[in-house]
Homo-oligomer: A and B are copies of this chain.
Amino acid sequence: MATLMDVARAAGVSKATASRALQRPELVAEATRERVRDAAERLGFRPNAAARALTTGRTGLIGLIVPTLSNPFFAPLVMGAQRAAEETHSHLLLAVSEYDPAREAALADRLSEQADGLIMVTPVGSDTALRERFRARPLVLVDRQVGRLPAVVADTASGLAELLGHLLELGHREIAYVSGPAGSWADRQRCAVLTEQAAAAGARLRVRGPLPPTFDAGIAVAGSIPAQATAVLAYNSYLALGLLHGLGVAGRRVPEDVSLAAADDLSTLSATTPPVTALDVPLEEAGALAVTRLLDLLAGRRRTVATHLPARPVLRASTAPPRGGAAGIRA
């Protein structure tokens, strides 16, 4: 591997000048700059990241911890983060915690040694641990709020409220909510919001789950959706897909017999038969924004504590007024 010294020698300048020619070209005379660049090119010079990190104190690495990649929720998030990192010439150090707080802590510790800062998607695990971690190193939370720690939160809660509002408006009063994933912060938020709103509207909300976000689970739970329910709300779109199929197999047509909606829009439910009403959650933006926030933090810019990204319902053909009741209410 050619070092900067080699380049400098080849270009007939000092290490310092070579470094400047490459990193801060404006500080170097045109001619010298070109000579150095040529030499670097010719020798196939690649700066040694470790050496640079050692002097500058910056690795250019961002640690990202997600609970899993099986849940399709996290893929767009990671992709968004990666793209944003790429644009700022950083790299992503990815780790998967498998929803295990101990493992997550270990990973965070180890990543901290290599990364300039951490982005954590940590639906389980304690607030105080996160607070403490934040003190040690720049940290941005995703989809979770802990005090005033910097966070990027997809505002599913209020979007979900709109979605439920839509069902209520259509006239539904017997609604099944399929919840999950088990133990997650966001799940608790969603359940709380929905329960309260349904109660306020005098509707009955039955909660099923918590379930994993899979097609299979949707099929399985389809059988236990009470006959009275005129609408089903699933927290995830794979679940909704499974429900769509499972309800069909069970002889309940969507939306004639029962309405169906999903609290995310991961699998583009727009092309199903019928297309499914869903919440559009800006996951890629969330990932990208988390990176931006972290870089701001690293640059000493301390901005707002938590950013909420709006999630908006996309109304499609799978939601309609219930068989009997609606007309009276709407008239």
Q: Which residue of B lies closest to A71 (CB)?
A: B75
Contacts of A110 in B (CB 8 A): 89, 91
For window 254-288 of A, CB contacts with B under 8 Å fall at 267-268, 270-273
A290 at the interface (CB under 8 A from B): no
A170 interface hit (Cβ, 8 Å)? no
Query: CB < 8 Å: which of B50, B96, B273 contacts A246?
Result: B273
Copies of this chain present in the complex amount to 2
Q: How far is the CA of A261 from the CA of B270 in the complex (A)?
A: 24
Which of B78, B111, B215, B219 is in CB contact (< 8 Å) with A91? B111
Q: Of all chain B residues, which has the CB nearest A109?
A: B46
A69 touches B79 (CB 8 A): yes
Name the contact of A79 in the complex, choosing from B70, B111, B241, B245 (C-beta under 8 A).
B70
Q: Are B54 and A82 in contact (CB under 8 A)?
A: no
Interface 1/0 per residue, A203-243 and B, CB below 8 Å = 00000000000111101100000000000000000100100
> Is A292 interfacial (CB-CB < 8 Å)?
no
Q: A75-B75, A216-B267, A245-B248 are in contact. List 10 more A-B contacts (CB 8 A).
A: A49-B59, A69-B75, A72-B75, A78-B96, A82-B95, A86-B95, A91-B93, A238-B267, A241-B245, A249-B273
A residues apposed to B, CB below 8 Å: 46-51, 53-54, 59-61, 68-70, 72, 75-76, 78-79, 82-83, 86, 89, 91-96, 107, 109-114, 214-217, 219-220, 238, 241, 244-246, 248-249, 267-268, 270-273
Between-chain CB contacts (< 8 Å), 24 pairs: A46-B109, A47-B113, A48-B54, A50-B50, A53-B53, A60-B114, A61-B93, A69-B69, A70-B75, A70-B79, A72-B72, A82-B95, A89-B110, A92-B93, A92-B95, A215-B271, A216-B267, A216-B270, A216-B272, A219-B272, A241-B245, A245-B272, A246-B273, A248-B249
